Amino acid sequence: MKRTPRPPREELNLNIIVSRQFDKAARVLDFPEGLLKQIKACNAVYRIEFPVRFGNRYELFHAWRAEHSHHKKPVKGGIRYSEFVTQDEVMALAALMTYKCAIVNVPFGGAKGGVKLDPKKYTPEQLEKITRRYTAELISKGFIGPGTDVPAPDYGTGEREMAWIADTYDAFHPGQIDNLACVTGKPVSQGGIRGRREATGRGITDGLREVFRQANEMKRLKLSPGLEGKSVIVQGLGNVGYHAALFLQEEEGSLITGIAEYEGGIYNPKGLKVRDVFEHRRKTGSILNFPKAKNFTHSTALLEMECDILLPAALENQITAENASRVRCKVLAEGANGPTTNEGEEILLKKNILIVPDVYLNAGGVTVSYFEWLKNLSHVRFGRMEKRREEKSVIELLSAIENLCGKPIPPQIRKKLTHGPNEVDLVNSGLEETMAEAYHEIYEARQSVKGVNDLRTAAYVVAIRKVATSYMELGIFP
């Protein structure tokens, strides 16, 4: 059997990939070379080795925290638990966070953290010990704090780990009123915000909605405007992929024809009900053998199936020079960080495939993390002050309309109109506005900047301009 050639190691290095993406955009901008080097450089990396005691034995863990840019403070970025995490990966993801925050106008610099471990191999009690010790190491060097560096969940971590981090930080800083703002992605009962869990998936949907509203773009792709009826293949049924697929299906009317996971893939051209697939996997441990769906032993085969939208929402380096020529989507929506290599992207662009880049499309998580951070600093739930007042104002307005018209407003319409916004309503509204505004900035840059022909380069142009402006206004570069 003929072996598939593996792409060269350099092609799969995320740090090199992000660096090349930056350089491509920097070439079309007229900023001093020294300023561009400063924007590109990772300002600080803290490499840690720490022991944790489990019963009568000790285990040594390797971990990192990278702070890419301090043009805005605090810096912001997730913490991932993975046996494959490396310093290069953490630095690359920190850089992406800098550009991501700039693109969506969130006033943070970029950061990222990682602990080299497989969380499936440890009990919750062991993971708590590891998390608290890692947090203590970050505290000792000033790599965490409400005004300095604010972590969040990432691959292998979630609300539970963020609660442990917040509690550990609070124990080291007793009596400080803003301690909860040291980390985001916490449970709602521990200072988290409603809508954060599904924020990245919802942001993907919001971003794609804006993309598909562009009639000229859709005409070029031979697609009708709007997401309704568009066929979608999703790679990854984790938090990001699940919520993106769910919102695309239930709110936008898209057709989810394929879902891929590490155990394999399933496909049905007539559509798959995302909630049912998720429940099937919960019960059986696999998405395979879902009723009326065709099984694929190798999940990567789904990346090559024909569809309108291909949504890789799991791993890095999924579309490379080796398989890009066989990709048959019209829009590649990068839900994961770094799913496309530089060489893979060149092939896709030559095939006239529209790439909606990760540096924009998966920024929903950090956007809602920003809202959570604001909530923690203000010490009040969004909507608490104004919800009832807005409801009363609308009721009075509707009553006046009914009196003038002499007809009652139907109860269902009245109920919907008089519903005052609660926290999740405000969060979702803010996220939708953020993603829409950011996309139009990117689209305008692609149209107006000479030498820019794709959305990723346009997004980097937008980011670099904003970071450069911050540095120049600070007087660091006259």
Known catalytic residues are 112
By the 10 Å C-beta count (0-12 exposed, 13-18 middle, 19+ buried), 18 is classed as buried
Spell out the residues 6+ positions from residue 235 whose beta carbon is closer than 8 angstroms to its own.
241, 259, 260, 299, 302, 303, 310, 311, 312, 313, 314, 315, 318, 336, 339
Place of tokens 């602990």: 115
- Of the candidates 252, 251, 203, 265, the one whose C-alpha atom is nearest the C-alpha of residue 436 is 203
Give yes or no for a contact between 310 and 331, defined as CB atoms under 8 angstroms apart. yes
- Of the candidates 83, 79, 95, the one whose C-alpha atom is nearest the C-alpha of residue 14 is 95
Q: Residues, the chain, total?
A: 478
Spatial distance between the Cα atoms of 302 and 143, rounded to a whole number of angstroms = 41
- Of the candidates 281, 238, 277, 239, the one whose C-alpha atom is nearest the C-alpha of residue 258 is 277
Instruction: Name the phi and psi angles at 88, rounded to 5.
Output: -60, -45
Spell out the residues 6+ positions from residue 112 whose beta carbon is closer than 8 angstroms to its own.
65, 66, 68, 77, 78, 79, 80, 90, 91, 93, 94, 97, 154
Tokens of 150: 């604010």
Spatial distance between the Cα atoms of 257 and 259, rounded to a whole number of angstroms = 7
Give yes or no for a contact between 46 and 64, defined as CB atoms under 8 angstroms apart. yes
Distances (CA, A) of 228 to 56, 150, 270: 59, 38, 14
Pairing of strands 75-82, 44-54: unpaired
Tokens of 106: 């969130």
| Cα 321 to chain centroid, rounded | 25
Give yes or no for a contact between 195 and 428, defined as CB atoms under 8 angstroms apart. yes
Give yes or no for a contact between 230 and 309, defined as CB atoms under 8 angstroms apart. yes
Give yes or no for a contact between 288 and 267, defined as CB atoms under 8 angstroms apart. no
Cite the beta strand spans of 131-230 per DSSP E.
Answer: 149-153
